[in-house]
Amino acid sequence: MAPSNQLEVPQKSRVTVVGSGNWGSVAAKLIAFNTLHINSFHDEVRMWVFEETLPSGENLSDVINRTNENVKYLPGIKLPKNVVADPDIEHAVRDANMLVFVTPHQFMEGICKRLVGKIREDAVAISLIKGMEVKREGPCMISSLISEILGISCCVLMGANIANEIAVEKFSEATVGYRENKEIAEKWVQLFNTPYFMVSAVQDVEGVELCGTLKNVVALAAGFVDGLEMGNNTKAAIMRIGLREMKALSKLLFPSVKDNTFFESCGVADLITTCLGGRNRRCADAFARNGGKRSFDELEAEMLQGQKLQGVSTAKEVYEVLSHRGWLELFPLFTTVHEICSGRLAPSAIVEYTEHSARLPLLESPVHLN
Amino acid sequence: MAPSNQLEVPQKSRVTVVGSGNWGSVAAKLIAFNTLHINSFHDEVRMWVFEETLPSGENLSDVINRTNENVKYLPGIKLPKNVVADPDIEHAVRDANMLVFVTPHQFMEGICKRLVGKIREDAVAISLIKGMEVKREGPCMISSLISEILGISCCVLMGANIANEIAVEKFSEATVGYRENKEIAEKWVQLFNTPYFMVSAVQDVEGVELCGTLKNVVALAAGFVDGLEMGNNTKAAIMRIGLREMKALSKLLFPSVKDNTFFESCGVADLITTCLGGRNRRCADAFARNGGKRSFDELEAEMLQGQKLQGVSTAKEVYEVLSHRGWLELFPLFTTVHEICSGRLAPSAIVEYTEHSARLPLLESPVHLN
């Protein structure tokens, strides 16, 4: 006879959002809606807040908890009352078995190291962090960093996700990338999915994560085309070639990457959003209009009020990988973008051709890249 | 010993462009550049001109031949001197073994019937005609129409091809779709490819051709989103879902259709161009801004100076196919676009969701559609 303690009540999952910027606050809003409605999650969602003192003298975390609003990073949007801001990171993660990482990527290594030994043994993670360093040997995936330092499974969530548009519940989509465990992926989908934020999962963590970084390089190319006023036709061609290079590079670096990932929100849709709006596109447009005579640093300072461009440094890092591996000629768009950013070529080089050949599709991709 | 007549000199190919509108004239320009430079083509390119009397009293064909300019449909652009306008269609095609069809699609059946028995036995064709009728049983492919009536092989060429931008040699791409014979496809690529117009071939004539028609339905959806000022995020999601439905419907209708075709210029790039600029997008934007209270007929007359929208009729035809086959629920975007165009739903329905479900990704595509 089975003793009664074998009929365990499944424990409710507890979620903590590590980060409380613009996207982190929107993520907390999405999640908190679901934890209230779905029985398998504990209602309360902790949100770790990097504490700041507001001009009023109050702590940001206190104001969030009193007003249900992140007055600094997501003003005007009410967060569900079950979001609890917590300035103590160790306390915030202590009871959680689902950790959502959404901080600037350069802080992640430090945060992970600080959390070693401080999280539950059954914890799993997801990274919403777009952009990563690409080292000479290859990209330094944020999901791997989390997995390796904390010894836990880590999925990623990427997509065409302009935080402020999702905050006001405009229709949008996202993609969860997972490595092996489909059940965990489905749980993340359940946690994020709402009628206005449609999430689907693909078994391709690297493909999904690389999209979030490489798209910024393509957005620079799209910005050059806009600045040169080449029109929609040329811009679409550049975006398509960029998507092809994103796919080809991801597959060369990680043979498990799947073609269909690039049809998901993390691929083609995020690329479109980034190449239509987006900081990288905007600054590259200005760069081209100035004939490359004003540096990206200067334009960034002037146009972005302290926000940072990722495309320029990613383009440089990607160039180093391509050069190191002897792949420069296979990736004419990525290569040309860096050569323009670094001043070696004029912005017009992005669409230049001679009587005999186009610069961009210099070489057809070998069959195994298609 | 081999008799000397076995060492045949390969005959040079002779090209005729059937059509001389905006895109036809640009195609003749591209082709004539190549026939001059590539030895396997006869220099002269015939272009059939549907004769018109210009206000000056002269014939359009005479003016084209005197000035090397299609003053009516491509003013300001010099055509290579080896383009010869010919108002007599039978005479124009008589010596050609490569026929390029580029006329409005509603004229194609009549033109083909007129050419029966008038063309060379070794002739092959390519269609540059975007848009087709979609009958209840399925689409009426222009390439099949040409093949069936004339009994010859027919490829297609589609892509993000705004004629006026290519005319001034802005960088662009296109896709040739072929059925079986790769050598013929390569010859078409050779004929069209220039440094500023990069052409590649895929063995998927239906996939390539359907892209050119179905994109117009997605462009209407994108126009509604623009008119409702939903932002780039939502627009990118709608474009992605549209691309998914284009792919899924093409594959259901023709199981030979390949996923990768949708990564080519005919797929994602043409979709981008059409959803950024494009007549369908523009009129749908105005339709949504007017809350659906002014009809597409009225907007078309006011905004397009006699040009015609294809998206609205294609959306209706696609709806009939979906309804006939019981597939309406699998294609929520295509279905909703028609319901909006026909006044059954408000434009805002394109992005509507209830507390429990989104309208658009109503059903996840079954596995065989992915």
Q: What backbone phi and psi angles, to 5 degrees, belong to A153?
A: -70, 140
Same fold, A13-203 and A214-369: no
Q: Which two tokens stand for residue B101?
A: 């069809």
CB-CB: which of B165, B264, B355 is closest to A233?
B165
Is residue A131 pLDDT above 90, yes or no?
no
Q: Is the dihedral of CA A144, A145, A148, A153 positive or negative?
A: negative
| CB-CB contact of B73 with B25 (8 Å) | yes
Do residues B139 and B210 make contact, with C-beta atoms less than 8 angstroms apart? yes
Report yes or no for ipTM above 0.85. Answer: yes
Of these residues, A29, A215, A247, A258, which one is catalytic? A215
Phi, psi of B140 (to 5 degrees): -100, 85
The number of C-beta contacts closer than 8 angstroms across A and B is 167
Q: Nearest 5°: phi and psi at B155?
A: -90, 175
Distance CA B337, CA B328 (A): 12
Could you read off the pLDDT of A299-351 as tens digits, one per residue? 999 998 877 789 999 999 999 999 999 999 999 999 999 999 999 999 999 98
Alpha helices per DSSP H over chain A? 22-37, 60-67, 89-93, 108-115, 142-150, 163-167, 182-192, 205-227, 232-253, 270-276, 279-289, 296-303, 311-325, 332-341
Mean pLDDT for A271-296 is: 95
* Residue B125, SS3 per DSSP: strand
Closest residue to B170, CB basis, from A233, A273, A364: A233
- Residue B134 has a pLDDT of 87
A6 is in an annotated binding site: no
Residues of B with Cβ-Cβ distance to A272 under 8 angstroms: 232, 235-236, 239-240, 272
Quote the pLDDT of residue A352.
83
Quote the minimal CA–CA distance from A259 to chain B in Å. Answer: 8
A164: closest chain B residue by CA: B233
| Residues of A with Cβ-Cβ distance to B353 under 8 angstroms | 171, 195-196
Residue A363 tokens, joined:
């070489």
Q: What is the mean pLDDT of residues B339-359?
A: 84
CA atoms within 13 A on the CB side of B370: 14
Q: What token pair was written down for B208? A: 């390539």
**Is B272 in Cβ contact with A236 (below 8 Å)?**
yes
Fold of A214-369: N-(1-d-carboxylethyl)-l-norvaline Dehydrogenase; domain 2 (1.10.1040)
The pLDDT value given to residue A362: 45
Token look-up 């100076």 returns B305
CA distance A341 to A216: 13
The alpha-carbon gap from B278 to the nearest alpha carbon of chain A, in Å, equals 10
Element (H, E) at A154: strand A154-158
B278: closest chain A residue by CA: A232
Q: Locate the chain A residue with the closest alpha carbon to B232.
A: A273
pLDDT of residue A364: 47
How many whole angstroms separate alpha carbon B178 and alpha carbon B209? 10
More confident position, A213 or A7:
A213
- Residues in chain B closer than 8 A to A182 (CB atoms): none
- Delimit the domains of chain A by residue range: 13-203, 214-369
Which tens digits make up the pLDDT trace of A17-28?
A: 999 999 999 999
Contact A332, A362 (CB under 8 A): yes
pTM value? Answer: 0.93
* Residue B61 pLDDT > 50: yes
* Average pLDDT over every residue of A210-237: 96
CATH code for the domain defined by B13-203: 3.40.50.720
Chain B residue nearest residue A197, CA to CA: B358
Instruction: Answer yes or no: are the C-beta atoms of A359 and A337 closer than 8 Å.
Output: no
The single residue listed with the structure tokens 């009352």 is A81
Is B130 annotated to bind ligand? yes
Please tell me the predicted confidence (pLDDT) of residue B98. 98
Mean pLDDT is lowest, of A105-119, A183-197, B117-131, B302-316, for B302-316
Q: Which member of B29, B135, B170, B215 is catalytic?
A: B215
Is residue A194's pLDDT more than 80? Answer: yes
Find the helix or strand (DSSP H, E) in which A98 lies: strand A98-101
Position A7 confidence tier, pLDDT thresholds 50, 70, 90:
low
Q: Is B235 a catalytic residue?
A: no
Please determine, for residue B291, whether its predicted confidence score (pLDDT) is greater than 60.
yes
Residue A361: band (very low, low, confident or very high) from pLDDT cuts 50, 70, 90: low
B116-136 confidence digits (pLDDT tens) = 999 999 999 999 999 888 888
According to the model, what pLDDT value does residue A132 have?
A: 87
Q: How many CB atoms lie within 10 A of CB A208?
A: 32
Residue A223 in this model has a pLDDT that exceeds 70: yes
